[in-house]
Amino acid sequence: MKNQLRPLRQLANLTQQELAERVQVSRQTIVSIESGKYVPSTVLALKLADKLGCSVADLFVLESDDWK
């Protein structure tokens, strides 16, 4: 799964720490999501989308491998 968290966060002019505080997770969690190592839960994905003013579909995009 690809995600657009980093560009959308930067577009919202937020640091990783600021975004982490707004969605009540650690900065390490944001780093792991941005690097694609961790796929967040639906609740966290919705929180992130809410704080970045976009939809979950803007943030996360399925890749062909995800269908296998």
Partner 1 sequence: MKTFLFPAAAKHWAWLVLLPALALGLANMYWDYDLAFLSFKSTQLARLYDDGIFSGNMNFTDELAAIGMIVGLMLMGFSAERVEDEFTSTLRLKALSWAVWCHFIVLSLAILLVHSAAFYHALVYNMFTVLILFRLRFSYLIWKNNREAEA
Residues that bind partner 1 (CB under 8 A): 24-29, 31-32, 35, 38, 40-41, 44
> Tokens 């657009």 identify what position?
4
Query: What minimum distance in Å lies between the beta carbon of 34 and partner 1?
Result: 10
> Tokens 């577009």 identify what position?
11
Return the structure tokens found at 23.
Answer: 């969605």
Residue closer to partner 1, measured from CB, 12 or 25: 25
Q: Are 10 and 54 in contact (CB under 8 A)?
A: no
Question: Residue 54, SS3?
Answer: coil
Residue closer to partner 1, measured from CB, 8 or 47: 47
Residue closer to partner 1, measured from CB, 14 or 64: 14
